[in-house]
Amino acid sequence: MSESDLTVSPDPRMVRGLEIAARMRVRQDGDAWIVPSQSGDGRYRVHPDEERCTCPDFATRGLRCKHQWAVEFVRQREVAPDGTETVTEAVRVTYSQEWSRLQPGAGARAQAVPTAAPRTV
């Protein structure tokens, strides 16, 4: 038996959960967590204490899905060994724009000109 025979591949759902935790906004909502879908505009509710998720994969298999993995990774990242928690708040910068005021002479490449300073929401 070679060493390569002993290599264990990670669960693909765990890998995708890590990607979600690293790249997407996973937020807590009471006892549940809201996890965005990787493939569309949907969101799923993960209940870590009850070990369930509202996604079709969990409904079909009844096993840990990528959304549950994402919540686990986010929770591990945000709780220090001494028990203190890091709260991460997302800030979105928005610009008000007047679409009727386009840069003159831009033709087909017309760009909206911001009319106010950025503000945080």
All structural domains of the chain with their residue ranges: 11-78, 91-121
CB 45 within 8 A of CB 34: yes
CB 18 within 8 A of CB 77: no
Per-residue confidence (pLDDT) for residue 85, from 0 to 100: 64
Per-residue confidence (pLDDT) for residue 48, from 0 to 100: 94
Instruction: Walk along the chain (121 residues) and give the pLDDT tens digit of each residue.
Output: 556 567 788 899 999 999 999 999 999 999 999 999 998 889 999 999 999 999 999 999 999 999 999 999 999 887 677 777 665 544 455 656 665 666 555 555 555 555 555 555 5
Per-residue confidence (pLDDT) for residue 40, from 0 to 100: 85
Per-residue confidence (pLDDT) for residue 82, from 0 to 100: 77
CB 33 within 8 A of CB 46: yes
Q: What is the dihedral of CA 98, 103, 109, 115, to 10 degrees?
A: -30
pTM above 0.75, yes or no: no
Q: Give residues with Cβ within 8 angstroms of 37, minimum separation 6.
A: 43, 44, 55
